[in-house]
Amino acid sequence: METAQMTSILERLIKSHDDLLALGERKTDVLKLGDMKALDVLLKEEDLQVKKLQVIEKERMLKFANVTLRDILAQSEAREKEKLLNLQGKLVQTYDALKNRNELNQELLEHSLQYVNMSLSMVQPQSEPATYSNPKTNPYTSQSSSLFDSKA
């Protein structure tokens, strides 16, 4: 019974991670094109997918709070054990691909931000002093005078 439940959860986790990976690949293309509206739509879809993944993970934690996959594998028959190991390998592979895709997207976003910051700094005028200063005075000399001239 535990084997069937774990198989079901692993399959759903793989499907959810595959969907996130597909969104990540679409996000890479959108980032390359610089289409902010499409990126906003993808981020909303990604948020929904992450929420689905969280639901599956909560279900897994409720059903298998103190049980690991290793425990289930120890109790499983050879055929079930092989299927679970294949699902585990597929999940790890999908997770690694998703991690790599997210790192690529992170780099693309950082490069985009650097480009935007560089463009803004080139467009913005150099800041002038906010107050008037006499250009003929020496900035290294200071004539400090008090506000009050009083005689004691």
pLDDT of 53: 94
The pLDDT of 89-113, averaged and rounded, is: 94
Helix pair 2-33, 36-63: axis angle to 10 deg: 170
d(CA 69, CA 5): 11
Is 105's pLDDT higher than 90? yes
**Residue 119 pLDDT > 90:** no
The beta strand positions in 66-133, using DSSP E, are none
Per-residue model confidence as pLDDT tens digits over 7-65: 999 999 999 999 999 999 999 999 988 888 999 999 999 999 999 999 999 999 999 88
Asked if pLDDT for residue 94 goes beyond 90, the answer is yes
Cα 78 to chain centroid, rounded? 39
Only one residue has tokens 């997207």, namely 105
Residue with tokens 């480009």: 115
6/145 Cα distance (integer angstroms): 82
Six-digit token pair at 127?
Answer: 């800041």
Fold of the domain spanning 2-121 = Methane Monooxygenase Hydroxylase; Chain G, domain 1 (1.20.58)
